[in-house]
Structure 1
């Protein structure tokens, strides 16, 4: 056994860290970092002269948030105080101050050090590409042009070796399928995993610590990016993000290494998808500014829904909820009522969903009242055959133009 401390740095998601911890079996001398810190503090407070000399210690990334700021400056020394001189120590996503300390100790031959980093990939199976895109197009209705453009980008990313992040802006009115598209890309090309941040939540400069890092015992963008589970990074509603945070994005979009005050993050090969409610590229230039505009690789516009698209989405929404009402209502009855509330233009997925919800609630309530009273005379008359034709036996594709 080594006469030095052996440090294993594991960089990546929490699942990756747990996966790469060895099976400790029934060993008694295995301790979590925070558990040992609390135990050591309790001994000192009660003047108990017992040293904590763990043989095996593991330090998860959220453990850094459980100690005071001052302790971070001597985190390496604190670990040494808590472990035996030949201990084995597993560290998840160390902040710079700890990482630099360990690298210095290793260069001087004081410790042994290994680093294991999670590797991220995109689904590069050419045989599955066309099938995946077809399935995406079936889910994102009425955005054929956008699907075509995203297909080009995905094909590019699955066939070339790229190190710099690839940045796409999806723009257009709200509730047209932008967020849904990102989720479908995650599902088909990134094993359903992605790092998601809603920028509308960051309203003022109080969030500067998150974007640029500050106190080491608080979360930051660097911290979250280090523990991401895939190389798909999604920033929703960039137009809602205050301008003074943009410099963080300059660094992220332009480099393979993103740095804040506490972490260095490898983002090579990442697909970064942005959304906004801007209506044109000129509007984006004006509001985002040229420095960030020219760091975006591709802009994909989402069109407002056409009359036919609105019709298809209404039908899909009704049929997708069939389990809620099938014992009491029919799709035809719901469609007859909701169609009087739907406009031929200006609707989006959210307004359609809300109107269908309203109709389902109203009809179910009416059905309950009728059941109590034993009165069914005010039920809607059967719909004409032309309406019924919209609801085919293949309910996954109720209408084709």
Structure 2
């Protein structure tokens, strides 16, 4: 019987890849792709034949970044050069060019190939759902309407079978709890795991390679989506992202497959949460443009804090930091000093944290300040 290489493609997070590797014995010699490439390159430079071929080869997803760009077009033949005819090869999140090459080889009965993909689920228990939403409400102040609206979306997603990504926009002034709500949702419904990208960092054309995967030996959005640990994706501050990157989002929001120049990713069932500082839907529509705006399934506004909410946040901030100052101060002392500085409207979480910080520092410094004056 003719020897055939046996390829095992494992698509998902690093943990999923490791979990799907067999338990190798002490007698098994397991070679790493990148290390073997280095050995092969050294041999070629010295005009020597490669005398080490792998019986078992693992190819981790970051290995593709360790080879020159030109080598990506011949990844399949390169693997063959490095392995024996009956080798077992375990491949993590292969680029499209390698996956297509192997599928073609399988169709021609030249290799054996199996593919496993990580499954992402959201909990579908109604009692658990209710309790989780109640817990979120305890941690997010002054945004009951927003919590109720996102609860409707989450319940919809736990009830139906939806393939296309579901896109939610959280909008309103800064520091009102948008990011905190996303993290609470991640913690309560997705095991604390989510893919997070801060779009304010992507300021110029130098980042086009990330969004569109133009350079196969560099990290890209497709690479990160393949490696995600859950189906929750968080893009923070979409309003800060240059609009020439928006075409990447058209594809991501509107299809079950996301393709860039290097990777092909199944994004079915994903929950994509965006945040922005737009004040109204009309402003959002004007600034984003209709192609993006109409790909958003739900836009949820975050209200400015009421006087009552500001009071609750001040008290919460003081009590949460009690361990810092309890040997010298009491929460009542801190509140008495900070309350004259707090406005009845226009405050947000950031301004409140800043004012509480300044008051604690000032109160603690008073003791040493008196000693300094005495000297």
TM range (shorter): over 0.9
Give the 3-state SS of the residue equivalent to 1:163 in structure 2: coil
Matched, 1:117 2:101: no
The TM-score, its normalising length taken from structure 2, stands at 0.97
Matched, 1:190 2:190: yes
2:348 corresponding residue in structure 1: 348
* Range 175-184 or range 121-130, more displaced: 121-130
Q: Superposition pairs for residues 12-161 of structure 1, below 5 Å?
A: 12-161=12-161
Distance of 1:184 and 1:8 partners within structure 2: 36
Distance of 1:41 and 1:272 partners within structure 2: 42
Q: Is the 8 A contact 1:52 1:81 kept in 2?
A: no
Distance of 2:233 and 2:71 partners within structure 1: 32
Distance of 2:365 and 2:305 partners within structure 1: 31
Distance of 2:370 and 2:13 partners within structure 1: 55
Q: Please report how far the alpha carbon of residue 368 of structure 1 lies from its aligned counterpart in structure 2 after TM superposition.
A: 3.9
Q: Please report how far the alpha carbon of residue 24 of structure 1 lies from its aligned counterpart in structure 2 after TM superposition.
A: 1.3
Q: Is the 8 A contact 1:190 1:232 kept in 2?
A: yes
Distance of 2:55 and 2:299 partners within structure 1: 54
* Range 338-347 or range 110-119, more displaced: 338-347
Give the 3-state SS of the residue equivalent to 1:135 in structure 2: helix
1:389 corresponding residue in structure 2: none
Matched, 1:261 2:228: no
Q: Please report how far the alpha carbon of residue 2 of structure 1 lies from its aligned counterpart in structure 2 after TM superposition.
A: 7.7
Q: Superposition pairs for residues 169-318 of structure 1, below 5 Å?
A: 169-318=169-318
Gaps of 5+ in 2: none
Task: Please list the CA deviations of residues 285-323 of structure 1 after superposition, one character each: whole Å capped at 9, or x if unmatched.
Answer: 111111111110101000000111111000000101111
Q: Is the 8 A contact 1:231 1:270 kept in 2?
A: yes
The TM-score, its normalising length taken from structure 1, stands at 0.91
* Range 35-44 or range 116-125, more displaced: 35-44
Distance of 1:181 and 1:91 partners within structure 2: 36
Distance of 2:14 and 2:27 partners within structure 1: 22
Distance of 2:122 and 2:167 partners within structure 1: 15
Q: Is the 8 A contact 1:328 1:367 kept in 2?
A: no
Give the 3-state SS of the residue equivalent to 1:3 in structure 2: coil
Q: Superposition pairs for residues 357-376 of structure 1, below 5 Å?
A: 357-369=357-369
Gaps of 5+ in 1: 376-401
Give the 3-state SS of the residue equivalent to 2:300 in structure 1: strand
Give the 3-state SS of the residue equivalent to 1:285 in structure 2: helix
Give the 3-state SS of the residue equivalent to 1:73 in structure 2: helix
Give the 3-state SS of the residue equivalent to 1:214 in structure 2: coil
Count the aligned residue pairs.
375
Q: Please report how far the alpha carbon of residue 91 of structure 1 lies from its aligned counterpart in structure 2 after TM superposition.
A: 0.3
Distance of 2:110 and 2:339 partners within structure 1: 75
Q: Please report how far the alpha carbon of residue 27 of structure 1 lies from its aligned counterpart in structure 2 after TM superposition.
A: 3.0
